Amino acid sequence: MGDAGLEKLRETIQQRSIFLGKDHPVVSPKGHGQGWLIDLRMTLLDGASLELIADLFWERFAGRLPFQVGGLEAGAIPLVVAIAMAGQQRGTPVNAFVVRKERKPYGLSKTIEGVLTADPIVIVDDLINSGSGMEKVRVVLGEAGHRFRDLFVVIDYEAEEGRQWLQQYDVGLTSLFRLVEFGLELKPSTPRVARSEFREVWRFRSPEPNYFHVVPKSTPALDDRRVFFGSDSGVFWALEQDTGAVAWSFRVREAGRRNIWSSPAVHAGRVYFGSYDGNVYCLDAEDGREHWRFTGADWVGSSPALAPDLNLLFIGLEHAVPGRRGSLAALDMGTGAKVWELPVCEYLHGTPLYCSAREAVAVGTNDRDLILADARTGRLIWKFPTKGAIKYAPALDPVRGSVIAGSFDGMIYVVDLESGRELWSVKTDTVIYSTPLVVGDRAYVVSTDKHLYVLDLAERAVITRVHAGAKLYSSPRLIDGRIYFGSTGGLVFELDPERLLFTGRVQLPDRITNAVAYSERHRLYYALTYDNQLFALARA
């Protein structure tokens, strides 16, 4: 087949898969127009072209048998199937598999479709640019105890980032074409951004994860020595920050599907959290001994907000009582005794925000309201209605005296703390299930529309939207001058808040729906995937 087959395929790609901005509306992930786009799916869905690519693959790899072939959904699926079928017809069958971009949350909850064998692995894809898709494959296969050394693509963009990735992981590339063969080239590189490098120090896996619920769960909290978090298995963990060794563990009273989604709060040698067994717990941070247990709810998915100046803990409760399914409660931090309770009609999943200067508590409800209550008495001060549930904690802008909350109606609301009046709002494309980060005159808000929204609080305007490529539930955190958040694609992002450029990223094997935590003592970053696997990362 040789050169004639390559030329025939090149002509097909030119005709079917290359779209120029002057002829077609081509929109970038940032919403801007771009000069060109290659959509190889138009070629891969043509039977004759797909058969031709499979034949060209076998011309190059037949001498390397045995091997198995796999790739990342969805672009690689036609290639994997065609290559496997061609191998069968040649009398040299090969094992085939596909890596999912995100774990299937139901059924068998797989990240890899198919069964891996002991044969060497050849990964195939339509193209390679930055190598980010291949990094996902590398990490998922590594989790399963496998690695690959060979990559086959139809088009190599010859991007610098992709070249560095290939070299870093010693992957040999075989490509049918280079981008320049189609008269195209990448835009000149923007001024080089210094990239942070991260390495895994340790990881810890809690058993019995719940893959179905793709939501924020129990964000890790730290004291001087330990990192604390809850799990789907109903076990609350205390790990040594530097090694990941288990210091102690505590099992809640009644195991269920959700168990501990509440993010712990730590203060003065005690750790506080809620559980779906209906209890709020206070444990000794040193040895896990139970100090008290509040049993006045049927479920607790909310996380505690502490007010040490009032000796109070605020938390949302859920009840199996029609017409009074939720409440905001204040508990005595020393004894767990209920001090006051403010009922609402629907479940209260939201986590409270304590505004110490105002001595008030703000919380979102499933009643589609943002409410403010007196911290000492529980008296309702105001109620601000939205068109969607508010399931995560709001944030305080102390400079302008406002509360910022994201809602399931896709809106970011900025509400006056004193009056409960809307000051301004921003519409996003879908649900917000996160807590905004306020830094000076800016707020950073992640949305499940795959964007980080950067707001100018002084000018009441959106500065920009930063595209992250996957849904965002992981509330952003400011750590050592950089902003960190995770995505359901399994990436931890590091963002320069001044230039609004990504300066680092780490690929983990599963979705990240919780905020990143940080130990100043050990200079370690802690990222918890939604399947209850905690990673400790060091930044070089």
The pLDDT, as a whole number, for residue 256 is 55
Q: How far is CA 353 from CA 230, 335, 365, 442, in A?
A: 20, 21, 13, 19
Residues spanned by the domain of 83? 2-182
Q: What is the C-alpha separation between 352 and 526, in angstroms, rounded?
A: 23
Q: How confident is the model at residue 184 (pLDDT cuts 50, 70, 90)?
A: confident
The pLDDT, as a whole number, for residue 74 is 85
- Contact residues for 216 (Cβ-Cβ < 8 A; gap 6+): 261, 392, 433, 434, 473, 474, 475, 513, 514, 515
Does 255 reside within a domain? no
444-474 pLDDT tens trace: 999 999 999 999 999 999 999 999 999 999 9
Does 85 reside within a domain? yes
359-418 pLDDT tens trace: 999 999 999 999 999 999 999 999 999 999 999 999 999 999 999 999 999 999 999 999
pLDDT at 28 over 90: no
Q: DSSP state, 524? A: E
Percent of the chain with pLDDT over 90: 83
The pLDDT, as a whole number, for residue 6 is 87
Give strand pairing partners of 504.
494
**470 with 442: CB under 8 angstroms?**
no
Q: How far is CA 481 from the centre of its chain?
A: 21
Q: Residues 294-332, buried b or exposed e (16+ Cβ, 10 A)?
A: bebbebbbbbbbbbeebebbbbbbbbeeeeebbbbbbbb
Q: What is the C-alpha separation between 394 and 416, in angstroms, rounded?
A: 13
Does 78 reside within a domain? yes
One-letter amino acid of 209: P
Give strand pairing partners of 374.
360
402-450 pLDDT tens trace: 999 999 999 999 999 999 999 999 999 999 999 999 999 999 999 999 9
Q: What is the C-alpha separation between 97 and 493, in angstroms, rounded?
A: 28
244-300 pLDDT tens trace: 999 999 999 775 557 899 999 999 999 999 999 999 999 999 999 999 999 999 999
Most confident stretch, 36-45, 314-323, 510-519 = 510-519
Mean pLDDT for all residues in the chain: 93
Q: Which whole number is the average pLDDT over 33-61?
A: 89
**420 with 383: CB under 8 angstroms?**
yes
Does 414 reside within a domain? no
The pair of three-digit structure tokens given for residue 440, joined into one six-digit string: 């000076």
Neighbours of 85 (CB within 10 A): 15
**37 with 26: CB under 8 angstroms?**
yes
Neighbours of 398 (CB within 10 A): 12
Q: How far is CA 477 from the centre of its chain?
A: 13
Least confident interval from 170-174, 320-324, 353-357, 530-534: 320-324
**97 with 121: CB under 8 angstroms?**
no
The tokens 């938390």 sit on which residue? Answer: 315
- Contact residues for 444 (Cβ-Cβ < 8 A; gap 6+): 436, 437, 452, 453, 454, 455, 476, 483, 497
**43 with 17: CB under 8 angstroms?**
yes
The pLDDT, as a whole number, for residue 459 is 97
Q: What is the C-alpha separation between 231 and 532, in angstroms, rounded?
A: 6
Does 92 reside within a domain? yes
Least confident interval from 93-107, 148-162, 183-197: 183-197
Beta strands in 289-434 (DSSP E): 290-294, 305-307, 312-318, 326-332, 338-344, 353-355, 360-364, 369-374, 380-385, 395-397, 402-406, 411-416, 422-427
| CATH code assigned at 124 | 3.40.50.2020
The pair of three-digit structure tokens given for residue 539, joined into one six-digit string: 């930044």
The pLDDT, as a whole number, for residue 507 is 96
Widest CA span of the chain, in angstroms? Answer: 82
The pLDDT, as a whole number, for residue 7 is 87
Percent of the chain with pLDDT over 70: 96
Most confident stretch, 11-15, 40-44, 196-200, 525-529 = 525-529
Phi, psi angles (nearest 5°) of residue 133: -65, -40
Does 178 reside within a domain? yes
pLDDT at 43 over 60: yes
116-133 pLDDT tens trace: 999 999 999 999 998 999
371 φψ region: left (φ > 0), alpha (ψ -120 to 50), beta (else)? beta
Does 348 reside within a domain? no
Model confidence pTM above 0.85? yes
Q: How many domains does the chain have?
A: 1
The pLDDT, as a whole number, for residue 405 is 98
Q: How confident is the model at residue 178 (pLDDT cuts 50, 70, 90)?
A: very high
Give strand pairing partners of 499.
none
Radius of gyration for the alpha carbons in the chain, expressed in angstroms and rounded = 26
Q: What is the C-alpha separation between 361 and 376, in angstroms, rounded?
A: 9
Q: How many CA atoms lie within 13 A of 209 on its CB side?
A: 25
Q: What is the C-alpha separation between 285 and 250, in angstroms, rounded?
A: 11
Q: How far is CA 459 from CA 417, 423, 496, in A?
A: 18, 12, 21
Does 50 reside within a domain? yes
Q: How far is CA 52 from CA 66, 86, 443, in A?
A: 22, 10, 52
The pair of three-digit structure tokens given for residue 383, joined into one six-digit string: 């109620």
